Structure 1
Amino acid sequence: MDLLFKVYPNLNVEEVATETYLQERSILSARNDDVATLNELAINQFPGELHEYLAADKAIEDDQPIKNRGNIGCPIMLLRNLQPRDGLCNGTRLMVIQFATRVIEAKILNGSHVGNYVFIPRITLQPSVSETPFQMARRQFPVRLAFAMTINKSQGQSVKYVGIDLRNHVFSHGQLYVALSRCTSSNRISVLLGNEDDDKTTNVVYPEVLL
C-alpha cells in the first residue's frame, strides 16, 4: 500500500485523478498475480461508483461468469489488437469515460493517438490451443485495470513517476533494465523490495545474448 500511495498520492480524492495524473504514473511488477493485487488495492481506493461486467465462459453446457471491474476515470489497458491504425493496440492505456451495456467509452493515454476518444466493444476470445477435450470461449471487454502492469507490458512506454514492485524478483533477461528505464528521471523511481532482500535485488542477465 505504501508503494501505491507513493506513486498515486491522494488517489481517493475525486478531483486529483485527472487524465494527466494517470498518464504520468504507473507501477510495474514482474508477475501477473502481483499486478492483479496492486490493481485491486488501487480500484478499492479510487473514488466513484464501481462497475462490474460479467463475462461468459462457455464450454459445451457450462457458463461461468467472470467479473471485469472498474470506475469512471480509472486507467485500463487494452489486451488485444482491435484497430491498430486508430491506436487500439495490445498494451494501449486508456482512461474510462463512460460505461455502457455493450461498449466502454475511453480516452487514449499513450502513443501517437493520445487524447482520442474511442469505444471498446465486447469480443469473443477463444484459445487456439486447448489442453481440454472441448472448446471454450469467453465474451468480455478485452481490458484490465492499469494502475499497475507487468514489466513486459511496459516496454516502449515512458512515464514521469514509476513504482517498481520487486518483492518477487525479475525472472528473465533484461526485465530489471526495462523497469528502471521506464521513468523519465531516476529521481522519480520508487522501488519496493522484500523484507529479506537487504536493499538488493536479482538482475537476470544471459551473457550469450550480449555477444
Structure 2
Amino acid sequence: MLLGGDFRQILPVIPKGTRQDTVNASISKSYLWHSAQVHTLSINMTLRQADKKFAEWILSVGNGTTATVETYAGSHEDGEKIVIADEFMLLKSDNPYQLISDAAYPNFVENYLNRSYLTDRAILAPTNASAQEMNSYLLSKVPSAEKEYLSSDTISFESTPTDDWTKNYTQEYLNSLEYSGLLTHKLCLKVGAPVMMLCNLNQRNGLCNGTRMVVSRLGHRVLEAQIMTGTHVGEGVLIPRIQLSPNDSLHPFNFRRRQFPIRLCYDY
C-alpha cells in the first residue's frame, strides 16, 4: 500500500476536534507506523522556472525557517506572524475579487472558452465560502445566459420512527442545510463555465471525483459537458441528477439531496 501526502499541509479532519485530536489521528501516530518505509520526494517535476522562488518560500514556511515577527503575549494573535514578501502580495483594492481574477485569469472574457486557458490556472481559496464568492464573480463575467438548478431535499422515511417526523422540518430548512462534500442546494451555471465532478459517477468514461469539465449545454434534467483533464480529454459526457446523503450528521434523520454532482471550479 502506497500513501502519499505531506504532514505540513494535509492533516486529518476531526469535526469539532482540538489540535491534539488532529495530531493523534495522524497516520504517524498509528501502531502500524513503525512498519512503514518513508520515501521523500525532493524535486517538483511540474514546477515552472518562474515559480521556483515562490515554491522555495512555501517550503520554508512548512519547515519553520521563514522570517517571522513576534506578537505580544495576551493579544488575540499570540505567537509569531509569518512575513510575506511584497512580490507575493496583491495591492489593496475596493474590489478584491476583480483584482484576484485579473491576476489569475487575465483577458478572461476573450479566453473563457479556451480549454487550455482554463486548465492552466486556478485560484486557491482558504474556505468554501470564499471559493463560492469567487466562483460567482467569475461566472457573472461569462457572456452567456445563466440557469439556476435547485435541489430536491427530503428525509429518508426509513430513518424516522413515524412518518410524522418529516412534518417537523420545513422544506426551507432542509434547503439551508450544508454538509462538507455534499452538493449545494442552488447551482448556477452558464455554457462555457468550468465545473468539477464531486463523486465517482462513471470511472470507465472518466467521470471521477475531481474530474474538471466545461459545460457545453444546459438541459432541464441532464447537463452536457466536455472533459478537460485526465485520459478522456475532449470527450463529451452527460451528467444526470443523483441522490446523495452525508456520511455523518448531527440531525436525528437521514438527509437526502438530489442534485447535479458538480460545482464551479474557477477556485479550489
TM-score tier by shorter-chain length is 0.5 to 0.7
Question: 1:112-171 CA distances to partner (integer Å, 9 max, x unpaired)?
Answer: 11111101110001123321112211000011101111xxxxxxxxxxxxxxxxxxxxxx
Normalising by structure 2, we get a TM-score of 0.52
- Kept in 1, the 8 Å contact 2:147–2:189? The answer is yes
Larger RCO, structure (CA 8 Å, separation 6 or more): 1
- AA of the residue aligned to 2:171: D
Kept in 2, the 8 Å contact 1:56–1:63? The answer is: no
Tell me whether 1:12 sits opposite 2:12 in the alignment: no
On the 8 A contact 1:75/1:93 being kept in 2, the answer is: yes
Mind listing any 5+ residue stretches in structure 2 that lack a counterpart?
A: 1-97, 156-165, 176-184
Cα RMSD over matched residues?
1.6
Compare 114-123 and 124-133 and name the one that shifted more. 124-133
Equivalence for 2:146? 50
Letter in 2 for 1:6: A
Q: Which residue of 2 aligns with 1:22?
A: 118
CA pair 18-139 structure 1, distance change in 2 beyond 3 A? same
Q: Counterparts of 2:258 and 2:245 in 1: how far apart (Å)?
A: 9
Q: Which runs of 4+ in 1 moved over 4 A?
A: none
Secondary structure in structure 2 of the residue aligned to 1:76: strand
From the two aligned structures, give the one with the greater helix fraction: 2
User: What is the SS of the residue equivalent to 1:5?
Assistant: helix
More strand by share: 1
Aligned pair partner of 1:40 in 136, 149, 166 = 136
Matched, 1:130 2:249: yes
State the shift of 1:16 in Å: 4.8
Q: Residue 101 and residue 11 in structure 1: after superposition, are their counterparts in 2 closer, same or farther (change >3 A)?
A: same
Alignment map for 1:165-180 (pairs within 5 Å): none
In structure 2, C-alpha distance between the alignment counterparts of 1:63 and 1:115, rounded to whole Å? 39
Query: Deviation of residue 94 (structure 1)?
Result: 0.3
Task: Kindly provide the CA deviation profile for residues 17-49 of structure 1, in whole angstroms up to 9, marking residues without a partner as x.
Answer: 322222222111232222112111111111110
Range that drifts further, 19-28 or 135-144: 19-28
How far, CA to CA, are the matches of 2:264 and 2:247 in structure 1? 25
CA distance in 2, matches of 1:88, 1:121: 12
Residue pairs, 1:1-211, within 5 angstroms: 1-13=98-110, 16-59=112-155, 60-61=166-167, 62-64=170-172, 65=175, 66-149=185-268
